[in-house]
Amino acid sequence: MERGDRRRARRAGPGRRQRPPRTRARAVAKRLRTAPVASANDMTESPTERLRRVRRGAAILYRTGASHVWIFGSLAHERTHDRESDVDLAVEGLPAELLGGAVEAVRSEVGGRVDVVPLETAPAALRWAILSERVLVPRLDDAVAGAETRTDATEAAAPPEARIRSLAQARVEAVVDELRRSGARSVVDLGCGFGRLLERLALDRDFERITGVDRSEQALTAASRRLRKVLEPWQHVKITLVRDLVTYRNPAFLGHDAAVAMEVIEHLEPAPRAALESVLFDFVRPATAIVTTPNVEYNAKWRLTSRNGLRHEGHRFEWTRAELERWADGVARRHVYRRVVVAGVGVADPTLGAPTQLIVLSEPAPVH
């Protein structure tokens, strides 16, 4: 994205008068806060006009669930126009299953060549390069107090539930609600990723002990770093992070009132999926087990760009509602859980159902 910029930076010698990078970044940030929102047909190529287009694109990403949106690259620091892309954006907090549709919507609204990089999954070298020069794009509600700036195009582009809150956040809240109903005080999150659920549980006084498990050292390191920043010490001390496969019988998984596998099973082939079932319902055997997974029927409402036709390139399958119910009933029968609840998360379509499926298995029979 910035090959041309790096070459130009190397050629800049002591005799060239350049504005310091921090000063340039502050100037760009000020213009992002104060520039009026451009119309969809305003496609002039001055830096100011391109920053207006950036704000329109960032608004879509925020409404689709991003917690932060930054610009980086040539536009962020007023350098010569990048030949690789017109606009380079970095995002944090955008649900992976919504990324493809969000990028398509941004490109349609902004025009030109747009790159969107999720910081959570970016290669380390690229991530650090972005962190060294990014400039935050404020939410439109913050930049234009009280102004209603949504357009018909952006409303149509964003999935219905994204207009209210991100699906990922809705999923976390649904899981927390079920955990509260169960009366659980300790929870193990199998496949915790970057710790979105761990953070939410730690903020709640109802939960006293929280264990997060993931195979990715990178994800756990990022989760640990972020949790230390956002949590008070008394909240952070409740969390233990464990690096391991969720298909292994690790004693650290034991002794919890509830276990959660949130958006995990769809990443597993049949053999490891069966191993996870055994770990969760035979080995851990919590009083309450919660599993969430995508509803493949709902995909018809989104413009998916993945090569496998699913919400994420890493998904091995996605179930219909009937398929999930059959699996849940089979799990309850095989492992003697006497209560099964199947629910949807997100705004449901009358025909297709909700975007996310959630099952709760509870009341396990005593093991003799």
Which residues make beta-bridge pairs with 114? Answer: 87
**How confident is the model over 222-239, as pLDDT tens digits?**
889 889 888 889 999 999
| pLDDT at residue 78 in the model | 52
Same domain, 88 and 186: no
Residue 98 CB-density burial (10 A; 0-12 exposed, 13-18 middle, 19+ buried)? buried
Same domain, 154 and 178: no
Same domain, 8 and 77: yes
Same domain, 38 and 123: yes
* Lowest mean pLDDT, pick from 7-21, 70-84, 161-175, 323-337: 7-21
CATH code, domain carrying 138: 3.30.460.10
Q: By the 8 A CB rule, do 93 and 68 touch?
A: yes
Q: What Rg, from alpha-carbon coordinates, does the chain have? A: 23
Q: Does pTM surpass 0.75? A: no
> Considering its fold, how many domains does the chain have in total?
2
Same domain, 109 and 227: no
Same domain, 299 and 189: yes
* Lowest mean pLDDT, pick from 72-81, 214-223, 313-322: 72-81
Boundary (domain end) residue, out of 107, 131, 158: 158
Same domain, 140 and 222: no
**How confident is the model over 15-59, as pLDDT tens digits?**
444 444 445 555 555 555 444 444 333 344 566 666 777 888 888
Stronger pLDDT, 254 or 165, i.e. the higher one = 254
Between CA 255 and CA 367 the distance in angstroms is 15
Same domain, 210 and 259: yes
Boundary (domain end) residue, out of 114, 132, 158: 158
Same domain, 143 and 103: yes
Stronger pLDDT, 333 or 35, i.e. the higher one = 333
Same domain, 111 and 138: yes
Which residues make beta-bridge pairs with 70? Answer: 90, 136
Boundary (domain end) residue, out of 122, 137, 158: 158
CATH code, domain carrying 273: 3.40.50.150
Q: By the 8 A CB rule, do 61 and 89 touch?
A: yes
Same domain, 292 and 203: yes
Between CA 162 and CA 170 the distance in angstroms is 10
* Lowest mean pLDDT, pick from 77-86, 259-268, 297-306: 77-86
Domain of residue 55 covers 3-158
Same domain, 321 and 236: yes
Which residues make beta-bridge pairs with 93? Answer: none
3-state secondary structure 187-241: EEEECCCCCHHHHHHHCCCCCCEEEEEECCHHHHHHHHHHHHHHCCHHHHCCEEE
| pLDDT at residue 75 in the model | 65
